[in-house]
Structures are given as C-alpha cells and as structure tokens.
C-alpha cells in the first residue's frame, strides 16, 4: 500500500475504526469471490462487485488519513463516510416506515438498529476527522512499513479462511434432498428432505417434509414479501384441485415434474398484480410446497 509520511500519532478511535473497516473490506472480497465460484453465479457476483471500487477508495483513503495524516485522503474519506451515514440513515427510516405503513411491527433488531448504528458510527468518525482536517497537509512520499505487511498478511488470511467458509455456508441456487443447514433461510428449522431452486430473477420454488403444525407455524411466521405478510391471508383447506409450480420448473439443470396438483390439504395464496406467494401442504404425505414471486 502506498502511503504518506506520518506526522503524528493516530487517534485511537480512528485506528480502531480503520482496522474494523479493513477487516470488513477483506470479508467483502472473500464473499464476492465465493459468489463468483458458486454455480458461476455471474448475476449475483456483478450485483455485489460494483461495491469494490467504492470500498477500495474508502479503505485506502481511511488508512492514509489515519496513519499518515494525509489531507486529501481525509477529505475523501469524510465525503464517502458522510454518504454512507446518510444512506444508512435513510435506509433505517424507510424500512421502518414501510413496516409501519403496512401495519407490521418494526424489525428493530434485524433491520432498523443495525442500519442506524452504522449511520451513527460513520457520522461520529466524520465529526472527529472534520476537526483534524485543517491541520493536515498533502505532502507525501512512497513508504512501505511493517504495518502494511501486517495488513497484507491479515488480508491474505481473511481471504484464505473466508472464501472456503462462504463457499460452504452459502446456499446454492438449487439443491435436492438437502438438510436445512444447506438450504436458504426461508425454510423452517424442522424441515427435512428439502429441494429448492431460485432463478436469476429471484423467483423461488421449494418443497420439504414437515407436519401440519409445523407448516402452519411456518406460513404464519411470514413468508414472501412484507406486502404478503401485511395482507394476513389465512390458510385454507383445499376444496378443489390446486396447482403449484415445483422447483424443477425454474432451471434446465433439474429434472422432474414442473408442477403438481393437490386435491386435498391446505393452501396459502397471496397475489397482487404480477406478484404471488403460494404455499400448499399435502396432508397425505406431510409434504409442503412453495412458490414465491414477490418482486
């Protein structure tokens, strides 16, 4: 890493933040690499990879600002962190407002507080750096110290450990007869013999073995989108034959019947314009099926 000559001891608060930012950056790189390796998922890779240039500029400018008192880098990091603070604050407010407007409880732990915390931390760092920026200069010279060697070593270690971890923990775009630990988080903990597929547009279909009580709890816990949850559609008994698409219909790599028809059992069905969330339960086989197109 190219750096400027240090003129003062770095602020401890900024040092801690910088190292956290470095670790987050290397984890992001490991995650993006794993996305590319999993089933050649170019679409998912491209969606996350656009963050790399932004994240790289932020990390380098933050590092140079903290340890080498470089004014231009400090100004750059202030600008980027201010943007991050605003975006996460808006995200926290908008997600909470959306839930409130739909009559749903605010998800403080999983959504609002994490976003708000990032916004507050970023703003705090901006405030600290703003008070220091006028005392810095732009004089620089190339220097590579032991600290940079440590950064490189940590980066390589995070990549070496992180890529295999994400490869093992990320669910593939499809799976057949897998456990709940190998599946997307949408499935309930007691589900077994899980098969599923998600296409490039995000449409999802899956099926699994579960008892009727578990199926009811799973549906009532909220599946699909916020809009489908807010609609509070009840589970109904199937009174006439019902069709539902199965996971093989979403990929040419999979074989099997693309839809099934049930004449008895339970059904949950929500639809709005071109969005729909459907879940059915075959009481004779204790088998649940779902098809979600809520985007």
Percentage of residues of the chain with pLDDT beyond 90: 51
Same domain, 163 and 26: yes
How far does the chain reach from its first CA to its final CA, in angstroms?
A: 42
pLDDT, position 142: 53
Same domain, 216 and 72: no
Residue 41 has pLDDT above 60, yes or no: no
What tens digit of pLDDT does each residue of 42-59 get?
Answer: 666 666 778 889 999 999
Same domain, 44 and 111: yes
260, 216, 264: which is closest to 239 by C-alpha?
Answer: 264
Q: How many domains does the chain have?
A: 2
Same domain, 175 and 145: no
Same domain, 201 and 156: no
The least confident of 62-66, 167-171, 191-195, 274-278 is 167-171
Tell me the residue range of the domain where 266 lies: 171-292
pLDDT, position 82: 96
Residue 140 has pLDDT above 80, yes or no: no
pLDDT, position 138: 64
Which of the listed ranges 67-71, 104-108, 181-185, 245-249 does the model predict with the highest average pLDDT? 245-249
Same domain, 199 and 149: no
Whole-number average pLDDT of the chain: 86
Residue where a domain terminates, one of 125, 141, 167: 167
Task: Tell the residue number behind the tokens 């340890």, with chain if given.
Answer: 67
For residue 53, being part of any structural domain is answered with yes
With bands split at pLDDT 50, 70 and 90, how would you rate the model's confidence at 6?
Answer: very low
Residue where a domain terminates, one of 129, 150, 167: 167
Same domain, 132 and 41: yes
For residue 3, being part of any structural domain is answered with no
Mean pLDDT, range 203-207, rounded to an integer: 92
Same domain, 39 and 140: yes
pLDDT, position 145: 80
Same domain, 96 and 212: no
Same domain, 122 and 200: no
pLDDT, position 200: 76
Strand, helix or coil for residue 295? coil
Residue where a domain terminates, one of 143, 167, 191: 167
């Amino acid at each position: 890493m190219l750096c400027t000559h240090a003129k003062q001891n770095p602020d401890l608060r900024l040092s801690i933040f910088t190292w956290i930012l470095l670790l987050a950056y290397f984890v992001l790189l490991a995650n993006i690499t794993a996305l590319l390796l999993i089933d050649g998922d170019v679409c998912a890779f491209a969606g996350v990879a656009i963050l790399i240039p932004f994240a790289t500029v932020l990390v380098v400018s933050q590092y140079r600002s903290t340890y080498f008192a470089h004014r231009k880098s400090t100004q750059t990091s202030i600008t980027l962190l201010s943007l991050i603070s605003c975006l996460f604050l808006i995200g926290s407010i908008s997600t909470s407002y959306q839930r409130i407007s739909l009559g749903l409880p605010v998800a403080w732990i999983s959504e609002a507080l994490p976003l708000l915390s990032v916004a507050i931390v970023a703003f705090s760092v901006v405030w600290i750096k703003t008070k220091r920026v006028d005392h810095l200069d732009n004089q620089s010279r190339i220097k590579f110290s032991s600290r940079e060697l440590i950064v490189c070593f940590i980066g390589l270690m995070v990549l070496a450990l992180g890529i295999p971890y994400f490869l093992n923990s990320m669910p593939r775009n499809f799976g057949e007869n897998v456990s709940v630990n190998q599946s997307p988080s949408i499935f309930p903990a007691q589900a077994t013999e899980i098969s599923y597929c998600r296409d490039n547009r995000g449409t999802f279909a899956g099926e699994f073995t579960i008892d009727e009580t578990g199926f009811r709890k799973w549906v009532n816990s909220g599946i699909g989108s916020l809009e489908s949850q807010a609609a509070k559609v009840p589970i109904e008994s199937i009174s006439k034959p019902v069709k539902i698409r199965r996971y093989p219909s979403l990929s040419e790599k999979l074989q099997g019947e693309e839809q099934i028809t049930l004449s008895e059992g339970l059904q949950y069905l929500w639809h709005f314009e071109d969005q729909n969330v459907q879940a059915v339960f075959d009481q004779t086989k204790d088998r649940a099926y779902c098809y979600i197109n809520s985007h």
